[in-house]
Structure 1
Amino acid sequence: MFHLAIKDMRFSKVKYGLIALILFLIASLVLVVSGLARGLSDQNIAMLVESEGTEFYVSADSENELDQSGFLIEDLLEEVPTEEGWQPLITHPVRFVHDGKEDEKLGATMIPVDTNSKLYPGVIEGEALTNDEDLTIIVDQTMQADGVELNDTLYDEETDLTFTVVGFTEDQTYRHTPVVYVSEAAFYAEEISPNRVANTVVIFEDNDALKASIDNVLSEGVWVDKTEVIDAVPGHSSEQMSLNMMIFFLIVISVFVLAAFFYIITIQKLKQFGILKAIGAKNQFLIGSTLMQVVILSLFSLALAVLFTYGVTFILPEGMPFDFNITTISLYSLSMFLVSILGALLSSRRIVKVDPQQAMGGAE
């Protein structure tokens, strides 16, 4: 079976080479689009995904959207200390002027944190943030694509404050903007957001007593889990749905394209199949030989597609939202492999119906 499949492929190199090329192109397109979809998703919700928060207290009428939720937390801070296991989360949109260059305004989301809390992500480069009133910040590393470096200054025109970048963090983006972390002490001392208004209250483990205490003080919201908050981020669901629909149709198209190719090839080889049947070859053997060719072509093409997609990560412009995720790549590669097998199986019915006597006479 294996030797017959290989000999046939060697004899018709161009024909099988074209099939491999088409499968490679379709698979590459699927994998690249999936990488873009995941990259866009990460850029929109990475801060929430990486957060250790398990449940969020949001306004009842906010539809779980953080930017539409808000609480005055002065009383809560007095009655339920944050040491009991909760933290306020504030997402404050800003536009920075980079190093005095008026034409380089950078959008970002500023989040004040206590560096001893679980909301603080730490740094991968530079100095850690400190709990003082200095106007120092750590920023997501995606801002490096905009030319931001350590010790650069970022000026916020709205508050007339200038911040110094002392460190970089990673995987901290929200609504397609990098997250900038500043100490709570500096944030409130400069009254960037007066009255301590938090978008949400976050807890980090299931604690019914703590939830009840918070609810008693605020009594204006509902508890939701992280998944519900992520799904409510504006544009996230529709963005992913559009890209996933595109990937779905690409896979469906590949079924019909591959089925058509293998059907045509099967029609062209009916005489050979008839002769092989006449000398004793079974249907299972002939179908198995055809599937073996599909397996070889698919594995070869998909391997090249994965390598191509990995290579794309090195040539994309810096800052392009693209994520080469092994799990996602493996899932779509397996889907394409199964689709290839399905496409070949659709033509196997013709092999079963081949009449050896007609094939020997040159007729179908």
Structure 2
Amino acid sequence: MFLAIRELLHAKLRYSLIGLIMILIAVLIFIISGLAKGLSADNASAIQHLNADNLMIESGVEQELTKSFLPESTVEEAAQTKGVKDTSPLVIRMSSASVEGTDQNSDVALFGTDLQGTLVPDVIQGERPANPDEVMADDSLKKDGIEVGDTITFSGHDAAYTVSGFVENQRFSHAPVIYMDMAGDKINAVAIQTDGEIDDNFAGHFDVLSKSDVLQGIPSYSQEQASLNMMIVFLFVIAAFVLAVFFYVITMQKTSQLGVLRALGSQTAYIISSLLVQVILISIVCIAIAIGVTYGINLVLPEDMPFVMSTGNMIQASALLLAVSVIGSLVSLYQVVKVDPVEAIEGGD
């Protein structure tokens, strides 16, 4: 530890440059991770937060909710099936909403279900609808001027509806979700909660999917996430190569000093542990700075940009980056092991 810290303090410029490179790579990884998380939530948070174990949809529609159409009687059939504890209908329609008396339209996703059922999220402002003429909206619609008590209309619907309350983080296909009663419409899915295995004879007539399976069927969801995740993987690989090259060059420059240490009786394990301490200290400091920089960038990003910084996501990315840094330093550690004290000292003369 003493040797590692002393060398860091002695060659401040050299290690500061390495640190700067690492900070920039870490910030880029954190930003892309936040965008991936944000786009995922913007595209499917209403499904991610759905209070259901599985969704039952029509067979043969390639897991796409909006292509599935089931008769309303399916809800009752599912409720009477062995292993099913609770059921709720789910109707999804893409539409546009406008406040009566204004010309402004907002693209929305209409989620039709039992407004007193388990699929309706908690209200953060206002109250749950008390009758079929009331709806609840995602709070992102506040930016479009929609408020509790407003009367809104939807394209394709003749009736007008009153906004009774707002919910948060409810979006589907990059549009805010509005929860409403849509009794009489053909449903897209039956959300089910289970307390055991579902009767195979019943499930065989439908596709019973987990929420993660349903997410993959949302248009553009898997493509967006695959592209961003590929960028993140490449950044980790780049980080490993860059750090490997830096520490290898630095170790080569210190060959004569390492030879002297070996000649004076320093154990190889001690030298290796000192280099590892250097790598870990630099990595921890740089990752901490990168997290601070990323939080600062998050504060100045536009409100409508889909960017999510979750604690779990940051911890996971930080741990991977630390692991990649240590792995990247292994090449230089090999160089330490094969140093010959006599050759190293003679080479430095």
Structure 1 length normalisation: TM-score? 0.87
Judging changes above 3 Å, is the alpha-carbon distance between structure 1 residues 208 and 290 closer, same or farther for their aligned structure 2 residues? closer
Q: Which amino acid aligns with 2:34?
A: G
Q: Distance in 1 between matches of 2:232 and 2:75?
A: 48
What aligned pairs does 1:269-288 form with structure 2 within 5 A after superposition? Answer: 269-288=254-273
- CA–CA distance in 1 between the matches of 2:338 and 2:51? 61
Matched to 1:293, the amino acid is Q
Which of the numbers 179, 198, 208 marks the counterpart of 2:187? 198
Q: Does 1:15 align with 2:48?
A: no
Whether 1:297 aligns to 2:288 is no
Take 1:196 and 1:160, find their aligned partners in 2: how far apart are those partners? 14
RMSD between aligned alpha carbons? 2.5
Q: 1:306 aligns with which of 291, 299, 302?
A: 291
Matches within 5 A, 1:52-201: 52-73=51-72, 75-76=73-74, 85-98=86-99, 100-102=101-103, 104-130=104-130, 132-134=131-133, 136-182=134-180, 184=181, 187-188=182-183, 195-201=184-190
Shift in CA distance, 208/281, structure 1 to aligned 2, threshold 3 Å = closer
- Residue 180 of structure 1 aligns to a residue in which SS? strand
Output the CA distance in 2 between the equivalents of 1:112 and 1:306: 40
Distance 2:91 2:169 in 1: 18
Partner of 2:166: helix, strand, or coil? strand
User: 1:332 maps to what in 2?
Assistant: 317
State the Cα distance separating 1:37 from its structure 2 match: 0.6
Counterpart residue type for residue 121 of structure 2: P
Structure 2 gap segments, 5+ residues each: none
- Given the superposition, is the C-alpha separation of residues 206 and 346 from structure 1 closer, same or farther in structure 2, using an over 3 Å criterion? same
Instruction: State the identity as a percent.
Output: 35
SS in structure 1 of the partner of residue 265 of structure 2: coil
Task: Say which SS state the counterpart of residue 332 (structure 1) adopts.
Answer: helix
Distance (whole Å) between structure 1 residues aligned to residue 317 and residue 268 of structure 2: 31
Contact 2:75 2:89 in 1 (8 A): no
TM-superposed CA distance for 1:207, in Å, is 6.3
2:206 aligned residue (221, 232, 236): 221
Q: Is the 8 A contact 1:137 1:181 kept in 2?
A: yes
Deviates more, 1:142-151 or 1:251-260: 142-151
Residue ranges of structure 1 left out of the alignment (5+ in a row): 189-194
Partner Cα separation in structure 2 for residue 260 and residue 209 of structure 1? 55
C-alpha displacement at 1:313, in angstroms? Answer: 2.7
In structure 2, what is the equivalent of residue 256 of structure 1?
A: 241
User: 1:100 Cα deviation (Å)?
Assistant: 4.4
- The residue matched to 1:91 in structure 2 has which SS? strand
Q: Secondary structure at the match of 1:119?
A: coil
Note the alpha carbon deviations across 1:252-287, whole angstroms, 9 max, x for none: 010000001111111111111112122111221111
Rounded Cα–Cα distance in structure 1 between residues aligned with 2:337 and 2:210: 55
Matched, 1:235 2:224: no
Q: Secondary structure at the match of 2:266?
A: coil
TM-score (norm 2): 0.90
Residue 169 of structure 1: how far off its partner (Å): 0.4
Contact 1:263 1:347 in 2 (8 A): yes
Within the alignment, does 1:36 sit opposite 2:21 as a pair? no
CA spacing shift, 1:77–1:283, aligned 2, 3 Å: closer
The answer to whether the Cα contact below 8 Å between 2:137 and 2:167 also exists between their aligned partners in 1 is: yes
Per-residue Cα deviation, 1:330-354 (whole angstroms, up to 9, x for no partner): 1111110011111111111222222
Preserved contact between residue 19 and residue 286 of structure 2 (Cα < 8 Å): yes
